[in-house]
Amino acid sequence: MSARSVLACWDNSTRGLDASSALEFAESLRLTTNLLQDAAVVAIYQAGERVYEGARRLYVPYVSIRQSNRPL
């Protein structure tokens, strides 16, 4: 967040972290975005309930499995 961008994107930023570390990361990210008045888009790997509770807005995508053998 040192670049002072308006929007920061984090992809799988909590992958490999235990639940308490992932929660700490999410809380620090929320605090930083509040203080700097910017936004963050975060893709979280297996987020716990407390991480969801701290989020301002959530988007949970629908995941479907492709059933065809044809190439994309």
Instruction: Report yes or no on whether pTM surpasses 0.75.
Output: no
What would the pLDDT profile of 6-43 be if each residue is shown by its tens digit? 888 888 888 888 888 888 988 998 898 889 888 888 88
C-alpha distances (whole Å) from 64 to each of 31, 70, 72 are: 34, 16, 15
Distance, CA of 26 to CA of 57 (rounded, Å): 13
Residue 36 lies in a domain: yes
User: Given this model, what pLDDT does residue 45 score?
Assistant: 73
2 found inside a domain: no
State residue 66's pLDDT score: 57
| Nearest Cα to Cα of residue 43 among 31, 51, 35 | 51
More confident residue, 11 or 4: 11
User: Could you tell me the residue range of the domain that residue 33 belongs to?
Assistant: 7-54
Instruction: Give domain status of residue 46, yes or no.
Output: yes
Asked if residue 32 is part of any domain, the answer here is: yes
Number of domains in the chain: 1
Assigned domain for 59 exists: no
